[in-house]
Amino acid sequence: MPNPTEVHPVLEIRHVSKRFDATQALEDVSLVLYPGEVHALIGENGAGKSTLIKIMTGVHRPDTGELLLDGKPVHINNSQEAQSLGIAAIYQEPMVFPDLNVAENIFISHRKRGMIVNWGRLYRDAAAILAQLDVRLDVRMPARGLTLAAQQAVEIAKAISLNVRVLIMDEPTASLSAHEVDQLFRLIGALRSKGVAILFIGHRMEEVFRIADRITVLRDGKLISSRMRASAAELSSQREQVIREMVGREVGDFFAKVEVPRGKLLMSVRDLGKTGVFTGVTFDIYAGEVLGFAGLIGARRTDVGLALFGIEPAESGEIIFDGQAVQIKTPEHAMKLGIAYVTEDRRGLGLTLPMSIATNITLPTLRRYLNGLGLIRQNEEQRTAEEYRDRLMIRTPSVNLDVGKLSGGNQQKVMLSKWLNARPRLLILDEPTRGIDVRAKAEVHHIISDLAAQGLGIILISSDLPEVLAMSDRVLVMREGRQMGIFTRSEATQETVMTAAMGQHETTQVAPL
Amino acid sequence: MNALRRRFQPEQIRELVLIALIFGIILFFGTQIENYFSPRTFTRISTSVAVVAIVAVGQTLVILTRNIDLSVGSIVGFTAYVVGTILSRNNDIPPVMVVLLAVAMGAAMGALNGLLVAYGRVPAIIVTLGTLALYRTILVEISGANSVLTNELPRWLVNLPPVNVFHLGDLDIRLLFFIALVVVVLFQFIASYAAWGRRLYAIGSNPDAARVAGFPAQRIVFTAFILSGALAGLAGFVFLARFGNITVVAGQGVELQSVAAAVVGGVNINGGLGSPFGAFLGAILIDVIDNSLIRWLAISEFWRDALLGLLILLAVATDTVIMNRLRKAWSRHELQISGSETSAEKGGAHHAA
C-alpha cells in the first residue's frame, strides 16, 4: 500500500458544521479520504456519523465548511450529483430492486446506455465487473433470491460500474454472518487495490481493527481523534484507547434517578427468544426500579420491548408477571396485565397525527370515557388531558390542538400521558428522550424518577449512555440480540457498558444463555 | 380572521366553502334556466340525491379506515332487484320487514367484503372489485333476463316517492330524502361522539398506532364494511321505491358516484380525515350540477361526465393545496399563542448546553 502522505487525497472535508434545531449534529469536523485507503469512522449512536454521510452524499448541506474533491471545492446538492462526482454509499440494508436481475441492478443508474437495452452486452459487462471482484453470481438471476451478502456484492458492482472513487459503507456488516463478513472484506480488499477510497462505518471493534487503515473517532458531533491503525503489537492498547475516546462524555449535567427502596418482584423474564432476532434475555424487574437497556443500534433492545408488549411476541422462554406465568400475544393482553410501552417511533407506532392531543391521550383507554349510551364524555376526556398537560408540563395553548404541531419533546410527553393514563405497573420506555431538547429531556428524567418513586417498574431502553447510567438502578447490556450482562449501579461505567455493547471481550457478567 | 380561526377548524371551513359553492352554483343556474327557482327543482334534486347520499355515508365510513368499497353499486342493484322480485310475488309483506330485508341483504354482502379485507388481509380495492363483479353476475344469473315492473309492486311502495314528511315553506321534504337525512345525522353523530367513530379515525390516521393502542382494529374495519353494505342495501330499497322498474343493470356507477361524493366532500382517500356530513354535501353538489346540466341547453350530454370528472380533480387539488395553506395559517396562529413558551424552551436549552 502506498504511503498516503505522498498520495493526493480524493475527498477532503474541511471544518464542516451542521445544526438541527436544538442539536449541534456536527461541529468543525475535518476528514481526509485517500485513494486505496480504508478509513473507519466510529462513534456512539448520535455521534454525528450519519449526518456526515448525508453531507457527503448531498442529502444535507453543511452550515459552514466545505468539501474538496481533488483539491477543488464542490457543492453536492443531491445524491445524483454525488454519484456523478464518484461518491456512492451502500447501507446496512442493500437497496436492490428485487424483481430485476443482477445485471439490471448493476446498471440501473446508467443513463447513457441508450434507449434500447442490448441484453447481450448488458450481461457481458455485468459479468466482467463481477469477475473483477472475484464474485461468482449468475447475472440473469433476479435479485430477490440473493443473500444479503450477494446483494451487497451487487451494490458494490454497481458502484464500480459508476466509476466510484469514494465509497461510503454504513454498517455494511450489521446483518451479515461471519462467513459473509469475510466475503465482504475480500470485496473491500479488491476495491482498495483498485484505488477506491472507502469510508467504513462500523460498530464491531474487531472488524474495524481488521479492515481499517485509518481510524477516526467522532463524539457528540466533534472529531476526537484520527490515527493510523497500530501495528499488531500495540493493537490492543489502541483499541482500549479508542473505546475511551468514544465514550468520554460529560455526565455531570445529567439528572440522576432518586434512589428508592426496591419494591416487590414485578416480572421475571427467563431465556426469552425470537428466532433470528434475540435469544437468552433473562432478567427480573422490581417495583420502583429502573432497569436500563443499553446497547448499540442493532442490539435488538426495541425488539425485546415489542415482545414484552405483545406487538411482536416472543417465541421461546417464559415471562412471569406478578407470580403468574403468562404468554403475551397481543397489546390488549399486555395492557390488561398492566404493561405499557412508549415507542421510540413517535410517528409510526406512537401518535395518530392529524388528531388532537386529547384524543391521542385517551385512545387506549377510551372505554373509561363512555357514558351509558356508549358515547364519549368529551368533558371528562378534556379534563384528563388538561390534568396531564399540567402534570407533565406539556406546552400547548389547548389540548384540542393537533399533536403534529407540538415540538418533539411535547409529543413525547403526550405519548407518556397516553400510557400513564392506562395506569400501568410496568412501563417500557423506548428512547424517551431521543431528538428532544435539553430542557424537555431533564423534565422527562424527573418524570421517570417520580414514577419509579411511586412504585412503577420501568424498563428504560436508551442509546444515550450517560442517560442510562444516570437513570438506571441496574443496566442490562445487549449486543446483536444477545444479553451481554447486567450491571449494578456501582459496576456500570461508560467503559464497562460500552465494552460489553461492542463485544470487545465477553465480560465476566455474562448471563446464562 | 382571528375570530374565524377561533371558531372553526380548517375541515369545517371546507364544509362551509362547499355549502357556499352549492348556493353559488344554484344562483348561476337560476340565471340560466327558466323556472329554476321553483319547489319542483328542489324536489327533483332532493329525491335523486337520496340514493347516492346514503351510499356515500357508508363509503365514508370505509374510506376513513384507509379502505374503499367498490361493490356498493352492485349491492344497490342486487337488493333493489331481489327485494322487488320478492314483493312482486307477495304483495302483503309489511313495509318494515321489506326495509329490514334490504338492509340485512346488504349487510350480508358487506360482511363478505369485511371478512376478506379485515381478517383475510386482502387489499380492499381487490376484494370489492371482485365482489362488484360477483354480486352483479349472481344478479344477472338469477334474474333470467327479467325485470321488476312497477305494476307488480304493492301500492304503498309505488306511492312512496311523493310522500311528504314535512314542509319548509314552499319546499317539500320527501320521505326518501328524509331517510337520507336521518342516515347522515345518525352517522355524523356516531363519527363525532361514539368510541367506535373515534377509533375509525384513529385506524385511518395511523393503522400501526391503532394496533398498539390495544383496541380491536380488525373488528372495527369489518364493521365498517358491514355498515357500508347495510346502507347500500337501504339505498337499494330507496332505489326500488323511486324507480319501480328495475333491470339487472340497476345501480351501476353508484360506486363511483359515492366515492366522488366522499372525496368532493373532503373525505381524505388515505383515511383519517372527513365526515359523513361532508360526503352528504359532496353528493348534493354533484347532484345539483348533474341535474342542472341536463336542463341547461348550452351544454351537450357528453360534457356532463367531463365536468363531473373535472370537479373531482378540483376537489382533490383544493384538498392538497388550499387545505395545507389553511392548516399552515392556523398553526402559525397557534404558534404565536405559544410563542413565548417556544422561545423560553429554546433559551432553556441554550443555557443548559
A493: domain CATH number is 3.40.50.300
Partner-chain residue, chosen from B196, B201, B214, that has the shortest CB–CB distance to A331 = B214
- Residue B207: name the closest of B117, B277, B334, B72 by CA: B117
* Mean pLDDT of the A109-131 span: 81
Tell me whether residue A304 is in a domain: yes
Which residues span the domain enclosing A469? Answer: 252-338+424-513
The CA distance from B199 to the nearest CA of chain A, in Å, is: 8
Compute, in degrees rounded to 10, the torsion defined by CA atoms B158, B161, B162, B165.
Answer: 120
By the 10 Å C-beta count (0-12 exposed, 13-18 middle, 19+ buried), B165 is classed as middle
Distance (Å, whole) CA A300 – CA B244: 65
Confidence of residue A262 (pLDDT cuts 50, 70, 90): confident
Distance (Å, whole) CA B230 – CA B105: 7
pLDDT, greater one: A182 or B325: A182
Q: Which residues of A touch B342 (CB under 8 A)?
A: 395, 407
The verdict on a CB contact (< 8 Å) between A311 and B212 is yes
Partner-chain residue, chosen from A22, A311, A376, that has the shortest CB–CB distance to B194 = A376
Q: Which residues of A touch B216 (CB under 8 A)?
A: 332
Q: Are residues A387 and A461 in the same domain?
A: no
The verdict on a CB contact (< 8 Å) between A405 and B337 is no
* pLDDT per position as a tens digit, B22-58: 898 899 989 988 888 888 889 999 999 999 999 999 9
All structural domains of chain B, each given as residue ranges with its CATH number in brackets, are 2-332 (1.10.3470)
CA A245 to chain centroid, in Å, comes to 20
Q: Are residues A118 and A233 in the same domain?
A: yes
Tell me whether residue A345 is in a domain: no
* ipTM of predicted assembly, 2 dp: 0.72
Query: Can you list the positions of beta strands (E) in B86-131?
Result: none
Q: For residue A506, what pLDDT is reported?
A: 43
Q: Which residues of B touch A356 (CB under 8 A)?
A: none
Q: Are residues A58 and A139 in the same domain?
A: yes
Which of A352, A379, A441 would you mutate first to test chain B, the one with the most B CBs within 10 A? A352
Confidence of residue B341 (pLDDT cuts 50, 70, 90): very low
The verdict on a CB contact (< 8 Å) between A437 and B346 is yes
Confidence of residue A261 (pLDDT cuts 50, 70, 90): confident
Tell me whether residue A346 is in a domain: no
Tell me whether residue A343 is in a domain: no
Residues in chain A: 513
Q: Are residues A72 and A131 in the same domain?
A: yes
Tell me whether residue A348 is in a domain: no
pLDDT, greater one: B352 or A412: A412
Q: Write phi, then psi, for A280 (nearest 5 degrees).
A: 65, 35
Tell me whether residue A402 is in a domain: yes
pLDDT above 70 for B202? yes
Nearest CA in chain B to A399: B334
Quick one: residue A29, left, alpha or beta (phi over 0 = left, psi -120 to 50 = alpha)? beta
Tell me whether residue A457 is in a domain: yes
Q: Are residues A69 and A130 in the same domain?
A: yes
Q: How many domains does chain A have?
A: 3
The CA distance from A338 to the nearest CA of chain B, in Å, is: 12
Distance (Å, whole) CA A139 – CA A119: 11
- What is the CA angle A235-A240-A246, rounded to 5? 125
Q: Which residues of B touch A437 (CB under 8 A)?
A: 345-346, 348-349
Q: Are residues A383 and A334 in the same domain?
A: no
Partner-chain residue, chosen from A354, A375, A409, that has the shortest CB–CB distance to B194 = A375
The verdict on a CB contact (< 8 Å) between B199 and A366 is yes
Strand A426-430 and strand A457-461: the pairing is parallel
Looking at residue B265, the DSSP 8-state letter turns out to be: T
Q: Which residues of B touch A330 (CB under 8 A)?
A: 214
The string of DSSP codes covering B16-56 is HHHHHHHHHHHHHHHHHSTT-SSHHHHHHHHHHHHHHHHHH
Distance (Å, whole) CA A17 – CA B327: 33
The verdict on a CB contact (< 8 Å) between B352 and A442 is yes
pLDDT, greater one: A119 or B226: B226
Which of B14, B203, B206 would you mutate first to test chain A, the one with the most A CBs within 10 A? B206
Q: Are residues A212 and A295 in the same domain?
A: no
The verdict on a CB contact (< 8 Å) between B198 and A363 is yes
The CA distance from B263 to the nearest CA of chain A, in Å, is: 18
pTM score over 0.80: no
User: Are B187 and B57 within 8 A, CB to CB?
Assistant: yes
B contact set with A (CB within 8 A): 193-196, 198-199, 201-202, 205-206, 208-216, 272-273, 331, 334-335, 337-338, 341-342, 345-346, 348-349, 352-353
Partner-chain residue, chosen from B205, B214, B216, that has the shortest CB–CB distance to A355 = B205
Report chain B's terminal Cα–Cα distance, integer Å: 40
* Mean pLDDT of the A381-388 span: 94
User: Are A461 and A301 within 8 A, CB to CB?
Assistant: yes
Nearest CA in chain A to B11: A354
Helices B124-143 and B95-114 pack at an angle, to 10 degrees, of 140
The CA distance from A256 to the nearest CA of chain B, in Å, is: 16
Q: Are residues A290 and A233 in the same domain?
A: no
By the 10 Å C-beta count (0-12 exposed, 13-18 middle, 19+ buried), B224 is classed as buried
Where among A423, A455, A474 does a domain terminate? A423
User: Are A320 and A326 within 8 A, CB to CB?
Assistant: yes
Q: For residue A443, what pLDDT is reported?
A: 86
The verdict on a CB contact (< 8 Å) between B214 and A335 is yes
By the 10 Å C-beta count (0-12 exposed, 13-18 middle, 19+ buried), B97 is classed as exposed
pLDDT above 60 for A5? no
Tell me whether residue A347 is in a domain: no
* Mean pLDDT of the A405-418 span: 87
pLDDT, greater one: A318 or A133: A318
* pLDDT per position as a tens digit, B100-123: 999 999 999 999 999 999 999 999
* Mean pLDDT of the A444-457 span: 92
Q: Are residues A203 and A72 in the same domain?
A: yes
Where among A247, A274, A295 does a domain terminate? A247
* Mean pLDDT of the A84-106 span: 87
Where among A365, A400, A423 does a domain terminate? A423
The verdict on a CB contact (< 8 Å) between A352 and B202 is yes
Q: Are residues A15 and A109 in the same domain?
A: yes
User: Are A16 and A32 within 8 A, CB to CB?
Assistant: no
Q: Are residues A260 and A203 in the same domain?
A: no
Distance (Å, whole) CA A160 – CA B153: 78
**In sequence order, what are the residues at sequence separation of 6 or more whose Cβ sits closer than 8 angstroms to the Cβ of residue A482?**
A278, A279, A280, A513
Q: Are residues A233 and A271 in the same domain?
A: no
| Percentage of chain B lying above the pLDDT 90 cut | 56
Judged by average pLDDT, the poorest of A80-84, A349-353, B2-6, B308-312 is B2-6
The verdict on a CB contact (< 8 Å) between B193 and A343 is no
